[in-house]
Structure 1
Amino acid sequence: MRGGASRKIAPILQPGAQLEVTWRARLEEHLGVFTVEPVKSRAAAVMSDRLALAGLNAVTGLLSYCLPEREPHPQLYTRTITLLDLMGTSDVWPLAYLRWELALLDDMGFGLDLTCCAVTGSLDDLAYVSPRTGRAVSVEGAADWADKLLPLPQSLLGHGNGDLADISEGLITTGFFLKNRLAHQLSDRPVPAARQRLVDAIARQG
């Protein structure tokens, strides 16, 4: 945007900043002009927390990577604001991040169905996710195929206490669909490295 590198504007154009942006142009296909007003800055809250900073970079990297230009995603926007507000202020944000990745996949058309077992229809003992269908599979339904399925930890089911080891397992599963479904739709562009840095950081602390 015009003046984005100026001393007045550059400090507010930071990752994680919440802005009110107005775009004006004579015709829709014109480049137009943006005006920006700051709503909330989050940089200070995460700068002293390396894990939260990694989370912020992963969120902004994934959004830049996959959201089509000018396409609204109001529910994902609301979830993102909630997640960013937790970073640097609460220990529960890694769990919120995992569920945010689930919401991102859903918004992009690759939502997982974790309601019941794809094989038996059971609601109990759900322990895996099929990499082919994105549906949950129970212990009984998995049988001898368990080693070919993805993990379904309690954190992905909305249960558990947000244990980092459990969250790491969940990120293996969401990561599979980001890399093998979403990335394929985006001309096989690689998933931003910032996400893997966050995954590695969570695994080290777990």
Structure 2
Amino acid sequence: MHLTTDAIVCGVIQHGESGTVVRLLTPEAGMQPGYVRGGRSRRLRPVLVPGNVVRADYRSRTEDQLAALTVELVRSRAPLLAEPLAAAAIDWTTALAATALPEGQAYPRVHAALDGVLAAIESAASARGWAAALVRYEYLVLTELGFGLDLSACVVTGARDDLAYVSPKSGAAVSRAAGAGYVDRLLPLPAFLIDGGAAEWDAIRDGLRLTGHFLARDLLTERRAMVLAARERLILRLQRAGA
């Protein structure tokens, strides 16, 4: 196996006295693990930071062997880690990819979405500039891994207009008229998940509640549920920031 590509650092685990096992999300080869010799060294620690973009070179004798990995920094987002809210967002978005995506399967849309969220965190003046993109990223991860919500039409009437809720059981959309009288049993569906564009904080909170329900129920279960602590820390910081 020999692969050279730009990739996003998503997970770093200590291995031995000085090495690390690194999980990188690549555009065309999906999530790829590799062993970085000396990954805990003073030179490589600032490179192997979740959210950074690196030029990765993987080499292994067989496909089943953990590849030896060398990296060069392409884009550093390490300065953002000094900002608690940005750091929490980077921690969660990269951890979600590292935990949920199976190795070696291409998810180019997830790669593009994660890169877009990280770029928005880097450039936006406030969390409102990237929070909606983060919700869309979570929604896309659910969709790409087979747990997508059906937001195309009302599950009750078939109507495609005025979709306002989602059934927490089926994941299907419900129109405002069909949901009347059952609001307390349904999850709010923010319009920006269907229409795109910017979102107010109330809609972003609804979006986080919606995707969070299905992430916890369907995707991040058993041992993988531990990663949800990173999401809880992010939401707590968003609340403290006034979101």
TM-score norm. by structure 1 comes to 0.90
**Matches of 1:105 and 1:194, distance apart in 2:** 17
Aligned pair partner of 1:50 in 57, 63, 84: 84
From the superposition, tell whether residues 198 and 35 of structure 1 become closer, same or farther in structure 2 (CA, over 3 Å).
same
**Residue type of the partner of 1:106?**
T
CA distance in 2, matches of 1:160, 1:141: 26
Q: Work out which of the residue numbers 148, 152, 156 in structure 1 matches 2:185.
A: 148
Match in the other structure for 1:67: 101
Alignment RMSD? 1.9
- Aligned length in residues: 204
Query: Is residue 104 from structure 1 mapped to residue 141 from structure 2 by the alignment?
Result: yes
How far off its partner does 1:192 sit?
Answer: 2.6
- With over 3 angstroms needed to count, the CA separation of the structure-2 counterparts of 1:55 and 1:151, relative to structure 1, is same
Question: Could you tell me how far 1:32 is from its partner in structure 2?
Answer: 3.1
Give the secondary structure class of the aligned counterpart of 1:12. Answer: coil
- Native 8 Å contact 2:220 2:228 kept in 1: no
Query: For 1:24, which of 39, 42, 59 is the aligned residue?
Result: 59
Structure 1 match to 2:45 = 10
Q: Structure 2: how far apart are the matches of 1:52 and 1:162?
A: 19
- Report the secondary structure of 1:104's partner residue: helix
What are the Cα deviations for residues 140-196 of structure 1, in whole angstroms up to 9, with x where unaligned? 112332211111122322356421222011100100000001124x66634431111
Q: Which sections of structure 2, spanning at least 5 residues, go unmatched?
A: 1-35
Change in 2 beyond 3 A, CA 1:6/1:187? closer
Q: Secondary structure at the match of 1:11?
A: coil
Q: Percent identity?
A: 40
SS in 2 for 1:98: helix
Deviations 1:6-44 (A, max 9, x none): 122221001111112121111112233111121111121
SS at match of 1:10: coil
Deviation (angstroms), 1:72: 2.0
| CA gap 1:161/1:81 in 2 versus in 1, 3 angstroms | closer
Larger RCO (CA under 8 A, 6+ residues apart):
1
Q: Offset of 1:48 from its aligned partner?
A: 4.6
Tell me the distance in 2 between the aligned counterparts of 1:97 and 1:188. 20
Structure number with higher helix proportion: 1
2:75 is aligned, of 21, 24, 40, to 40
How many Å apart are 1:121 and its aligned residue?
A: 1.3
State the 4+ residue runs in structure 1 displaced beyond 4 angstroms.
none
Structure 1 portions without partners, runs of 5+: none
Are residues 57 and 10 of structure 1, via their aligned partners in 2, closer, same or farther at CA, if it must alter by over 3 Å?
Answer: same
Q: TM-score, normalised by structure 2?
A: 0.77
